[in-house]
Amino acid sequence: RFIAKPCALGLKVQANGPQKAQPNAILEKVFTAITKHPDEKRLEGLSKQLDWDVRSIQRWFRQRRNQEKPSTLTKFCESMWRFTFYLYIFTYGVRFLKKMPWLWNTRQCWNGYPYQPLMPDLHYYYIVELSFYWSLMFSQFIDIKRKDFGIMFTHHIVTVILITFSYVTNLTRVGTLTLCLHDAADVVLEAAKMANYCKCQKLSDLLFLTFAIVFIVSRLGIYPLWILNTTLFELYEALGNFPALWVFNVLLVILQILHCFWSYLIIKAAYKAISKGKVAKDDRSDIESSSDEEETVPRSKTPHSTITTNGTGGANGTNGYLTGGTCSEEH
């Protein structure tokens, strides 16, 4: 509120949200009391009742849904907060781990286990990370639901359980490696999103492609070869079989499955960026586009030819946002 917002206004980030739908009592009543996504039969009925063509009614509902979504300014402030946190905690993790022997030799994670002292710096690192992921899990219910809500909720649940379980069972050494590795890509992602909200498209594209490389290398390369290798093989060799080992590894493997899913989305977006010269629209975007919906509804016999796509002019792009799309928002 006192830092991110002034920075956003100084960078000329627009405070206005998507274009508002024109007032209409009948459609508003349907939207609030019945459904926000009317089917084709209801659209036809409303078309006859209002003497509007189907596409105009469909456009009104799309604009009304988008109207409840956050402005660019709000999203910039959220990204700046996350960028600040990720930069701080990643820097803290690197400074802490570079003094620890298990960063350079993962077999050190299991020396003396389970009688390993809980250092104050390690305790602080764990508590701050756990607090942050708890906040993400709860805030997801009040934020706009995106297409991968279920995947993100699963990720937050697995992460919270992993942090808590590793803390309780004193598997904290390998836990610190996992946390630091995951924070690396998130710093670049939030920076790319802020650049996009500032309409610095070239910088946003560069940061997104950097994020894609860091994410894929860290999540599909270093994570399985470094983290999973030590928890699946070195841990078993050092300590043998015990129940916590299997629970811990199942959670880590679920995390790797999520990494594969997100890597697919990132590679898909990066391919579009390279082929078209700019980052394509995020598959998880919280602003609805007009093309997908309008193809599913037949054209009316008397379309309103004076209304542009989604009710916006060509200069500002879909929903009043700059054409050029956003970078992938996730982690």
Model confidence band, residue 322 (pLDDT cutoffs 50, 70, 90): very low
For the chain, what percent of residues have pLDDT higher than 70? 80
Top CATH class, 19-68? mainly alpha
Which token pair is 52? 């509007």
Per-residue model confidence (pLDDT) at position 47: 86
Which residue from 300, 281, 278 is spatially nearest to 291, judged by alpha carbons? 281
Distance (Å) of CA 143 to CA 133, 138, 237: 15, 9, 44
Model confidence band, residue 306 (pLDDT cutoffs 50, 70, 90): very low
**Range among 45-49, 158-162, 270-274 with highest mean pLDDT value:** 158-162
| Mean pLDDT of the region 10-33 | 80
Model confidence band, residue 196 (pLDDT cutoffs 50, 70, 90): very high
Where does CATH 1.10.10.60 sit in the chain? 19-68
Distance between alpha carbon 253 and the CA centroid of its chain, in Å? 20
Asked, as a colleague might, if the bond just before 114 is cis with ω within 30 of 0, I would say yes
Q: What is the mean pLDDT of the chain?
A: 81
Residues 239-248 pLDDT 10s = 998 899 999 9
- Asked if the model's pLDDT at residue 50 lies above 90, the reply is no
- Asked if the model's pLDDT at residue 150 lies above 60, the reply is yes
| Mean pLDDT of the region 242-263 | 93
Model confidence band, residue 24 (pLDDT cutoffs 50, 70, 90): confident
Model confidence band, residue 146 (pLDDT cutoffs 50, 70, 90): low
Model confidence band, residue 320 (pLDDT cutoffs 50, 70, 90): very low
Per-residue model confidence (pLDDT) at position 153: 87
Per-residue model confidence (pLDDT) at position 18: 66
| 181 HSE (CA, 13 A, CB side) | 23
Per-residue model confidence (pLDDT) at position 295: 40
Residues 263-305 pLDDT 10s = 999 898 878 877 776 554 444 445 454 444 444 443 444 444 3
| Mean pLDDT of the region 17-30 | 80
Q: 208-222, 278-292, 314-328: which has the minimum mean pLDDT?
A: 314-328
Specify the long-range contacts of residues 152-161, CB closer than 8 Å, at least 24 apart. Answer: 152/330, 154/254, 154/258, 155/255, 155/258, 158/251, 158/254, 158/255, 158/258, 159/133, 159/255, 160/130, 160/133, 160/134, 161/251
For the chain, what percent of residues have pLDDT higher than 90? 47
Question: What does DSSP assign to residue 278?
Answer: S
CB atoms within 10 A of CB 220: 15
Per-residue model confidence (pLDDT) at position 14: 75
Residues 114-141 pLDDT 10s = 999 999 999 999 999 999 999 988 888 7
Which residue from 75, 69, 64 is spatially nearest to 20, judged by alpha carbons? 64
Per-residue model confidence (pLDDT) at position 186: 95
Per-residue model confidence (pLDDT) at position 248: 94
30 with 46: CB under 8 angstroms? yes
